[in-house]
Every structure is written in structure tokens, then in C-alpha cells.
Chain A
Amino acid sequence: MWRNSLLMIMMFFIILTMKAQAPAPSQTKSHTPHKVKVMTQQERLAQRKAESAKKDTLKFPLFNGVYIGADLYGIGNHFLGSHYDAYEVSADINLKNRFFPVFELGYGKTDYTKNGSTYTASAPYFRIGMNYKIKHKTKSESHLFVGFRYGMSKFNYSLNTAGLTDGIWGGTVPLKIDNASTTAMWYELVCGIRVHVYKNLMMGWTVRYCTRIKANGTSEGAPWYIPGFGQNRNNNYGFTYSIYYKLPY
């Protein structure tokens, strides 16, 4: 059920992104008849060479703009029944139309109860890294990218349980973690798409393969959830679907 809902919503967003990428109808269909120039093979080759040469000679200045973004997936995830919420904004700079240094700032929280145990944690987190635009010899804002991130969150976590009851000898051992403080660090390999939607508005999604570096706990237990990383495992997959605005200067 959860997966189906997720699939439906993702397909919706992806189709939306694809539609945004597609040329406008006015560009593809013309109501006025026009003459079609028949090109010879040699002319076509020459044209391609000329286009290729033009692309190769495209020079971009160092600074090409600043983009600010907000993640919509983290908010939507809450309504899909996820055990944790994430609210995230980002800022990145286009350098040479190729390198995009990124800073992401978010707030993650969970308040989850299962089998009589309640786990709570909430804290800000940040990621810093860079995206690399795969096809950078084009002026188009739409692009595929790969990149990396380093993430960190300093947070407190609490656990409330009824304790452990000994089924053989009897008796109960209490188990409670009260505001244990820890710092988690991780890195991410990312890839994704960003497409131009309208004027300075863009949309895109990013898939993240996250690897935990550190997340120490107490002797009573390690954190179960890490803000910005998700469930405390060696590796996690993450996903963000963001809307971006290119600042007009």
C-alpha cells in the first residue's frame, strides 16, 4: 500500500518533470505552412560539424547564478506514512556551468511507537558537497548531474520502553534512554535530474546513496534514526524531489 502510493506519486512528479523538459507545443507544431529545405548528406554533416564546433567553443564565466531549493519529498513522505519527517532547503552556485557547490540545510524528526517502545529524536542537519553537470557544453538549465555530499547532525534521542521482563526467572529490567546526545556523520554519492520549468523556476530529483561514517550511542543503545540520514544502518538510500529558483542576478 505504502509502496504503491509512493510509486504513484513519484510517477506523477517524474511525468511532470518530463513534461517540463519537453518542448512547448508551439515549438513543435506550426500552423503556417513552410517550405522544407531538403539537405544533402554533405550539408547535414557540415551543419553537424558546425554545431559541434560551436558547442566546443562555448565559454562560460566562472559565476553563472545561484539557485535556492526546497525539498517537497520530505514533506510528502509524512503523508505516505513514513516514520520520520524531513524539511530541507538548499543553495547551490553554478560555476563554469559545470560545477555546482551545494549546501543543504534541513530539520529531521521522528516520534515513533512500536511494541510499547517510543523513540523520539529531532534536530537540524546539514550537507555540503558538489554536483557535476554531465552535459555542460550547453546553455540549457536542464541537466543530469552526479555528485557527492558530506552530512552531519548533532542530535539528542530518547527511548521510552516498558522494560524487559524475564520469562524464566521473573522480574523486569527498566530500559529508558533520556536525551542521549550524539553526533552522526555520513557521506553520500548522488545523481539526479534538474529541469527548467518556467522562467527562473526549476524542478528536479536526487537519488542518494548514503554511507554512515559515525553514529555513536550509549551502552543502553545506539540511535535508531539519524536526522538527514534516516534509519541508522551502514548504508541507506535517500531521495529528494526539489523545486528550485534561480536568483535573478
Chain B
Amino acid sequence: MKKLLVWTLVIIAIIMSACEEEYETSVSRTQMKLTFYRRTDTSTVNMGVSDTLNIYALKTDSVLGSAKDSTTSAYSLPLSYTADSTVFILRKGAKNFVSDTLVVKYNAWAHFLSMDQGSVMYYNISNATITHHFISYMNIISKNVREVETENLRLYYVAK
């Protein structure tokens, strides 16, 4: 009888801990992750552009990414839900600025995560191009833009 009681209490404890309601918070908008790499003759380092950098998107007034120092080397940028491409303007410098235009093409669709987390957009990047004023070249690291952020595009600039 005592053993039965002990087992009962143990199992009640297990059930109670299992019944702890798990609240999953809703997931925010999925974003494409952009990283900057500084290239010299001898090395390539994950590093910001050592100047003011503002990132705008066409068809919106919002500044989507901004940094005034060299420490910020990664930016998370939203993509349009309904269009099949989004155009970004990367503007380096405060006064005598220099700009590059990044065009990202993708397939987009809505994806249900759960009743608690809600739904998000999923993207598959099909192509990405950039002008070369201060960015020397670009790599697509991952084509999938999901709720868990991963590095998607890597931009290289030459140190001066």
C-alpha cells in the first residue's frame, strides 16, 4: 500500500510537470540576413563598413537598417510579401555617400507554424544581384529565409 502511495505521488508529480502549459510566443516577421565582410590583400574579416550605413527599400520610406559605426556587420531585412522581388538601396557615408542597389528575387508563400506561434512568410531566394560601387562582390549563403534566422547573403567590400 505504501509503495502504491509513493508511486501515485511520483506519477502525480510527473503529470503536474507535464501539464505545465507551454506558451509559445508568436513568431515575428521572417527576415533575410545580410552580412558584411571586409577584404584586404591578406584576409577576409566579418566586419561592418567602418562608416555610416543606411539601408532603404524601394516603394517604402522606412530605413530598414542603419549603423553609424563599424561594429554592425549583420542586418536583418524584411522582404515584400506579395512581390516576387525586393530592391534595397545600401547607402554608405553621411555626406558624400556612395550607394549600391541590391535586387533580391524569390518565391514567397505563407506558412502555418502553430496556433500559438501563428503564421509567417517563407521565401526561397532564386537570384540576387548588386551593383559594385563600394561592394566588390556577393555570395548567396542560404536560399531559405525561415523563422529561424540564418545567413542568407554575404557582401564583400574592399578596405581602403
Interface residues of A (CB under 8 A from B): 2-3, 6-7, 10, 14, 17-18, 21-22, 83, 112, 114-115, 117, 119, 144, 159, 161, 163-175, 177, 191-193, 205, 207, 219-222, 224, 231-232, 237, 239
**Complex CA distance for A232 and B121, rounded to whole angstroms:** 20
**Complex CA distance for A163 and B116, rounded to whole angstroms:** 16
Q: Are B119 and A169 in contact (CB under 8 A)?
A: no
Q: Are B112 and A159 in contact (CB under 8 A)?
A: yes
Q: Are B82 and A221 in contact (CB under 8 A)?
A: no
**Complex CA distance for A14 and B78, rounded to whole angstroms:** 53
Report the minimum CB–CB distance from B43 to chain A (whole Å): 37
- Contact of B60 (CB < 8 Å), options: A22, A164, A169, A205: A169
State the main secondary structure of chain B at its contact with A.
Answer: mixed
- Contact of B119 (CB < 8 Å), options: A171, A191, A192, A221: A221
Q: List 29 A-B residue pairs with CB atoms under 8 Å apart, sorted by A's residue number.
A: A21-B4, A114-B115, A114-B116, A115-B118, A117-B112, A117-B118, A117-B119, A144-B7, A163-B110, A164-B119, A164-B121, A166-B80, A166-B82, A167-B29, A168-B62, A168-B78, A168-B80, A169-B82, A171-B81, A173-B108, A193-B7, A193-B11, A219-B111, A219-B122, A221-B111, A221-B113, A224-B115, A231-B114, A239-B15
**Complex CA distance for A165 and B4, rounded to whole angstroms:** 56
Contact (A224, B112) CB under 8 Å given A168-B60, A169-B82: yes
Q: Are A207 and B81 in contact (CB under 8 A)?
A: no
Give chain A residues whose Cβ lies under 8 Å from the Cβ of B81: 164-166, 169, 171-173
Report the minimum CB–CB distance from B146 to chain A (whole Å): 12
Top 5 closest pairs, chain A to chain B, by CB: A221-B112, A237-B18, A171-B82, A175-B110, A166-B81
Give the interface size class of chain B: 35 or more
**Complex CA distance for A172 and B119, rounded to whole angstroms:** 13
Instruction: Decide yes or no whether B16 CB sits under 8 A from chain A.
Output: yes
Q: Are A22 and B1 in contact (CB under 8 A)?
A: yes
Q: Are B112 and A175 in contact (CB under 8 A)?
A: yes
**Complex CA distance for A231 and B114, rounded to whole angstroms:** 9
The residue on A at minimum CB distance from B4 is A21
Q: Are A207 and B15 in contact (CB under 8 A)?
A: yes
**Complex CA distance for A14 and B111, rounded to whole angstroms:** 43
The residue on B at minimum CB distance from A116 is B118
**Complex CA distance for A82 and B12, rounded to whole angstroms:** 19
Q: Are B4 and A18 in contact (CB under 8 A)?
A: yes
Give chain A residues whose Cβ lies under 8 Å from the Cβ of B16: 3, 7
Give chain B residues whose Cβ lies under 8 Å from the Cβ of A221: 111-113, 119
Residue from A10, A164, A175 with most neighbouring chain B CB atoms (10 Å): A164
